[in-house]
Amino acid sequence: MSGQQYYESSVDRQIREAQERGDFDNLPGAGKPLDLGNPEDPDWWIKRLVAREDLDLGGALPGALGLRREASTFPESLADVYSEANVREILKDFNMRVLADRLRPAVGNLPPLIAKTVDIDEMVEQWQALRAARDIERGADPPATALDMTHTAPMSPARASWWRRLLRRA
């Protein structure tokens, strides 16, 4: 650079130094042509991103399709819920979201997609059978029925949390 001043930004300097150290040598794909996907498919890049990152696009589905997909997972998706009241609350919330989706205006010329509400009592019965089968599989006692509950001793009151017991001592 005879007589000419050369300005090198800090980024350019870092890149030059990394090249001199050999940080860019032997990178995967070096010397190979870029794979730009299918030129006829405008969404090739997003499909590749989803596959590479192993993303679940269930939340990106339009309303009714997402609700249908969620309904297809019942009652297996409720297997970890421990109380019938919580299962009923989850299913009630699902039915409310289905009804709210039906109130949304249709977009475009296509007929609107409709998701069905679930029968809460039927789904609770399926949940109970699933839980009972899972408990038997694990070797645990099956859950008590309503008749069994009438002949049991009253439950002891719940213990106070550890920090409350600690504060009571002080």
pLDDT tens per residue across span 34-93? 777 777 888 888 888 888 888 877 677 777 888 888 888 888 888 888 888 999 999 999
pTM: 0.51
Amino acid at 149: M
Contact present, 94 and 71 (Cβ < 8 Å):
yes
Residues 6+ apart with CB under 8 A from 40: none
pLDDT at 138 over 60: yes
The three-class DSSP label of residue 97 is: helix
Cβ-proximal residues to 8 (8 Å cutoff; 6+ apart), any chain: 16
pLDDT of amino acid 106 = 76
Could you tell me if 75 and 86 are in contact, meaning their C-beta atoms sit under 8 angstroms apart?
Answer: no
pLDDT tier at 152, thresholds 50, 70, 90: very low
Give the per-residue pLDDT at 11. 94
- Lowest-pLDDT range of 27-36, 52-61, 113-122, 141-150: 141-150
pLDDT of residue 166: 66
- CB 104: neighbour CB atoms within 10 A? 11
Residue 147, pLDDT above cutoff 50: no
Contact 63, 107 (CB under 8 A): no
- Per-residue burial over 5-33, b if 16 or more Cβ lie within 10 Å, else e, is eeeeeeeeeeeeeeeeeeeeeeeeeeeee
Task: Tell me how far CA of residue 100 lies from CA of 14, 90, 121, 163, in angstroms.
Answer: 55, 15, 21, 43
